[in-house]
Chain A
C-alpha cells in the first residue's frame, strides 16, 4: 500500500469517528448546561420578585404586595443614605475578615500536623471536625453560659493566670463582636482544616523529596515549595469561608440580637430586623440587592484570583519540563 492510499483510508475512517466524537461532546455539553439553565429559570422568579419588591414600597401589614406603590429607586437611596447600613456592612467585613483569617491559620496549622498519617490519626481527625458538626445556635446558647463573668471560661483563665479574671465577653459593646468572631473561628476552623488537609495530601511528593535531597530546610520547603503549590487551595479556602462568614446569623442573633446597642449588628442581622421586625420587605429587598451586588463583585474578583493562581500553578508545573529541554 502506498503512503497516499494509507492516508485516504485513515481519512475515511476518521471522519465518522470525528462526527461521533463531536456529537458526544454536544451531548455532554447539554448534560451540563441543562441543569444550569433549569437552576437559572428556577432562581429567576426569586430575583425578579425581589427586584419588584425593591422598586415598590411594600410593608406587609400596609398593603398587598401586588398593590404596593411604585417607589423607583427611593428605597435604594434610603438604604444608601442610612449610616446603620454602612456600619452593619463594616461589621460584617470585620467579622468575615478576621474569622476567615483565624479559621485559616488554625485550620492550616492542624492540617500540617495531620497530613502525614500516624497512630490515632483518625481519632484526632474526628475531634478536629466536631465543631463544624455542631449546630451554630447550640454554640451560641452554650457559649452564653460559658462566657458569663463568673463562668467557666473566666474561671479557667483565672486558674491559668493565677489571678482573678472577670472579663465581660458579651456585654462589652467594644468587645462583643470579637467574642462572636472567636466562636465563629471555633465553629468553622474544621472547614479550613479539611480543605487544607486535602490540598496538602494531594501535593506531588517529588519536588519536596528533591528539595530535601538537595539539603533544603523544612521551613524553606514549606515556604518555597508547599505554599506556592497550595496557593489555589489556600485562595479557595479563604474565599469560601469569607462568603460563608458574611452570611453568619445564628450566633450573632442567638447571642445578642445585634446588641449591646448595635455593636454586633451585621448585615444579616440588619436585613432580618428590616424585613421581619419592621416587616418592611421592600427596604429589605433593596438592601439585600445592594449586598448581593457587592458580593458579586467579591465573587468575580475571587474567580479572577483563582484563575490567575491556577495559571501560575500550571506554569510552575510546566517550567521544569521546559527548562530541561532548554
Chain B
C-alpha cells in the first residue's frame, strides 16, 4: 500500500494558509451582531469570563456551536460542557440537581411546563433583571410568551415553539375524483375541516387500511395522549380546574374531549396505542397518514428535503369545536423547550447572559433556520417572515400554519406538579384507548387521582396558580 507522505514544508504551508483564511471563513459563516446582541455583550462583560456547564439534548445542541464560539470571542463566556440528556429525562435530572443543590449545572434546556415545579424546588433563576439590564425583550407570537413566565416572572427563554398545526394530504384532498366521491357520499363538498366532527368524517372517508393509508396520525401512546386531549378540551370551552382548584375533569366539555379523543381510534393505525414519534413520523413522511395535528418540525422534515410526500401536504390550523356554542379553535404546544438558569450556580449571571444571546431575534432565527436540524421550531414573530426560516419550512403555507396555530396555542396544565397531573390523564386515557375502560370512567378516575394530587401539593398553592394558567389561554377563538 502506498504511504501518503506529508513533508514538514507542506505541513507548515498548509497551517499558514489555514491561519490566514480561518478568520475570514469564520466571519463569512456568521452574521454581524445587531444592537440587541451588542447590548447583551456589553452587559455580559461586567460579569467576566465563565466556562458554563449545561444540560441539553445533542439534537438541540447541534445548532449552537457557532453562536457559542462567537459569544466566547465577544465575552469570554461559553458553554464548554454539554450534558447530552434527552428532553424527556431532563426534568428528572433537574430535580435531582434540586436535591443535591451542587450548583454544578448552569443551564437546563427543559420543557417550560416544568417551571412551576422547578421554581417550587428553588432551582430557577428569575430572568427579568438580566433582560432589563441587557435591553432584551422577550417576543413570542401571540400570547405564547406567557409559556416562559410563572406568576408574571420570566423564568425561561424559548428555543423551540413545538406547536402542532393541522396536516392534511393535499394530493388526496384535492384529487377531483376523491372530491366527487366524497360529495356523492356525503351530499356536501369536501372542504377543510372546521370542527373535530368534520375532521372525523373526512378521515373516515380516506381511511383505507388495506392500502396502508390511515385516517389519523396523532399519538395515542401512554406518554403523549394527553396533549391531544387538552386541545379537544380547550376547544370545547373546558378547563381542567375550577377557580377554587377543584379538578373539573368530569364536566360535559371534558366528556366531549374524551369522546373526541377515543373516536379517532376507528381511523388510526391498529398499533397507535404503542406508538410514539419515532414510529409515527416515518408513517407521516411516507404518506401512510391522511390527517394529523403534528409537531411543526415535521413540516421542515417533509418540505426541506426530498421525501415521498414533499409537496403533498396542506398545512393549516387544527379544527375546533362548537361544543361551547361558538366555534373555538385550539392548537397545542408541548413540550415547549426553554433555557432555564440554575439559581444555585455560581455562574448564573453569565449563564443568563449566554441564554439571552442565544434567543435574540437574529440569533434564534439562525438556530431555527438550521438547514438540517428541525428540532428548534419557530416561535418569534421575526421567524414567521424570515426567508431563511421559510426556506427550511418549505414556503409560506407551512409558516402561516405555524403562525396561526401559535396564535391559538395552549399549554398542558401549567401548575406545580405538572408531570404528576399529566401522568394521571395519560394513564387513564391510554387505558380507555386500549379498551380497558370507557372514556367516561377514564376521566372520572383521572379526576379522583387529581384530587389526591391537589391535596398533596396544597389547594392554596394551585389556587394561586390558576389565574396565571388561565391567562396563558389564547385571546382569540379563531386565528386570523
Using CB atoms and an 8 Å cutoff, list the residues of chain A in contact with chain B. Answer: 57, 59-62, 65, 144, 148-150, 168, 170-171, 173, 176, 255-263, 273, 276-280
A-B contacts besides A168-B271, A280-B456, 17 pairs, CB < 8 Å: A59-B457, A61-B95, A62-B457, A62-B458, A144-B278, A148-B271, A171-B272, A171-B275, A173-B273, A256-B274, A259-B221, A261-B427, A262-B430, A273-B423, A276-B92, A279-B95, A279-B419
A257 to B98, CA, bound (A): 25
Q: Confirm or deny: B99 has a beta carbon within 8 angstroms of a beta carbon on chain A.
A: yes
Distance between B269 CB and nearest chain A CB, rounded to angstroms = 8
A/B interface sample: 13 pairs, CB < 8 A: A61-B117, A61-B118, A144-B278, A149-B270, A149-B271, A171-B274, A256-B221, A256-B274, A257-B222, A259-B273, A259-B274, A261-B430, A279-B419
Q: Confirm or deny: B120 has a beta carbon within 8 angstroms of a beta carbon on chain A.
A: yes
Distance between A171 CB and nearest chain B CB, rounded to angstroms = 4
User: Per a CB cutoff under 8 Å, which of A61, A260, A278 touches B222?
Assistant: A260
Given A171-B274, A277-B419: A257 and B121 within 8 A (CB)?
no
Contact B271 A170 (CB under 8 A): yes
Given A60-B99, A61-B117, A61-B121: A261 and B222 within 8 A (CB)?
yes
A55 to B433, CA, bound (A): 37
A271 to B478, CA, bound (A): 43
Distance between B118 CB and nearest chain A CB, rounded to angstroms = 7
User: Per a CB cutoff under 8 Å, which of B212, B223, B420 touches A257?
Assistant: B223
Q: Confirm or deny: B417 has a beta carbon within 8 angstroms of a beta carbon on chain A.
A: yes
Q: Confirm or deny: B197 has a beta carbon within 8 angstroms of a beta carbon on chain A.
A: no
Which residues in chain B, 401-457, are within 8 Å of chain A measured between CB atoms?
416-417, 419-420, 423, 427, 430-436, 453, 456-457
Distance between A98 CB and nearest chain B CB, rounded to angstroms = 20
Contact A168 B270 (CB under 8 A): yes
Interface string of B217-229 (1 = CB under 8 A from A): 0000111000000
Q: Confirm or deny: B279 has a beta carbon within 8 angstroms of a beta carbon on chain A.
A: yes
A278 to B98, CA, bound (A): 15
A258 to B124, CA, bound (A): 31
User: Per a CB cutoff under 8 Å, which of B427, B435, B456 touches A173?
Assistant: B435
**A280 contact set on B, CB distance < 8 A:** 420, 456
Interface string of B259-275 (1 = CB under 8 A from A): 00000000000111111
Interface string of B277-289 (1 = CB under 8 A from A): 0110000000000
Interface string of B97-127 (1 = CB under 8 A from A): 0110000000000000000011011000000
Contact A278 B423 (CB under 8 A): yes
**A260 contact set on B, CB distance < 8 A:** 221-222, 273-274, 430-431, 433-434
A148 to B223, CA, bound (A): 19
Contact A262 B431 (CB under 8 A): yes
The winner among B117, B270, B271, B417 for most chain A CB atoms within 10 A is B271
User: Per a CB cutoff under 8 Å, which of B222, B271, B273 touches A258?
Assistant: B222
**B453 contact set on A, CB distance < 8 A:** 278
**B121 contact set on A, CB distance < 8 A:** 60-61
Contact B274 A65 (CB under 8 A): no
Which residues in chain B, 269-311, are within 8 Å of chain A measured between CB atoms?
270-275, 278-279
User: Per a CB cutoff under 8 Å, which of A62, A171, A255, A261 touches B270?
Assistant: A171
Total contacts A-B at CB 8 Å: 98
A289 to B89, CA, bound (A): 25
**B274 contact set on A, CB distance < 8 A:** 170-171, 176, 255-256, 259-260
Distance between A274 CB and nearest chain B CB, rounded to angstroms = 9
Distance between A249 CB and nearest chain B CB, rounded to angstroms = 14
Given A62-B457, A148-B271, A170-B271: A261 and B423 within 8 A (CB)?
no
Contact A277 B99 (CB under 8 A): no
A259 to B432, CA, bound (A): 11
**A59 contact set on B, CB distance < 8 A:** 417, 456-457
The winner among A57, A258, A278 for most chain B CB atoms within 10 A is A278
Contact A256 B222 (CB under 8 A): yes
**B273 contact set on A, CB distance < 8 A:** 171, 173, 259-260
Contact B435 A262 (CB under 8 A): no
Interface string of B228-272 (1 = CB under 8 A from A): 000000000000000000000000000000000000000000111
Given A170-B274, A258-B222, A263-B434: A279 and B420 within 8 A (CB)?
yes
**A255 contact set on B, CB distance < 8 A:** 274
Nearest residue (CB) in B for A150 is: B212
A307 to B98, CA, bound (A): 47
> Which 8 pairs across A and B sit closest by C-beta, in order of nearness?
A259-B222, A261-B431, A173-B434, A260-B273, A260-B434, A171-B274, A61-B121, A261-B434
A262 to B273, CA, bound (A): 11
A260 to B272, CA, bound (A): 9
**A149 contact set on B, CB distance < 8 A:** 270-271
Contact B416 A259 (CB under 8 A): no
**A150 contact set on B, CB distance < 8 A:** 212
Distance between A56 CB and nearest chain B CB, rounded to angstroms = 13
A65 to B101, CA, bound (A): 12
Contact B419 A171 (CB under 8 A): no
The winner among A176, A263, A273 for most chain B CB atoms within 10 A is A263
The winner among B272, B273, B419 for most chain A CB atoms within 10 A is B273
A85 to B431, CA, bound (A): 16
A281 to B435, CA, bound (A): 31
A168 to B274, CA, bound (A): 10
Contact B436 A171 (CB under 8 A): no
Contact B95 A262 (CB under 8 A): no
Distance between A75 CB and nearest chain B CB, rounded to angstroms = 11
Given A144-B279, A148-B271, A176-B274: A257 and B221 within 8 A (CB)?
yes
Contact A278 B275 (CB under 8 A): no
Given A149-B271, A171-B274: A60 and B95 within 8 A (CB)?
yes
User: Per a CB cutoff under 8 Å, which of A62, A168, A261 touches B436?
Assistant: A261
**B433 contact set on A, CB distance < 8 A:** 260-261
Nearest residue (CB) in A for B221 is: A259
**B272 contact set on A, CB distance < 8 A:** 171
Distance between B237 CB and nearest chain A CB, rounded to angstroms = 28
Nearest residue (CB) in A for B461 is: A62
A99 to B436, CA, bound (A): 25
Contact B270 A278 (CB under 8 A): no
User: Per a CB cutoff under 8 Å, which of B423, B432, B434, B436 touches A277?
Assistant: B423
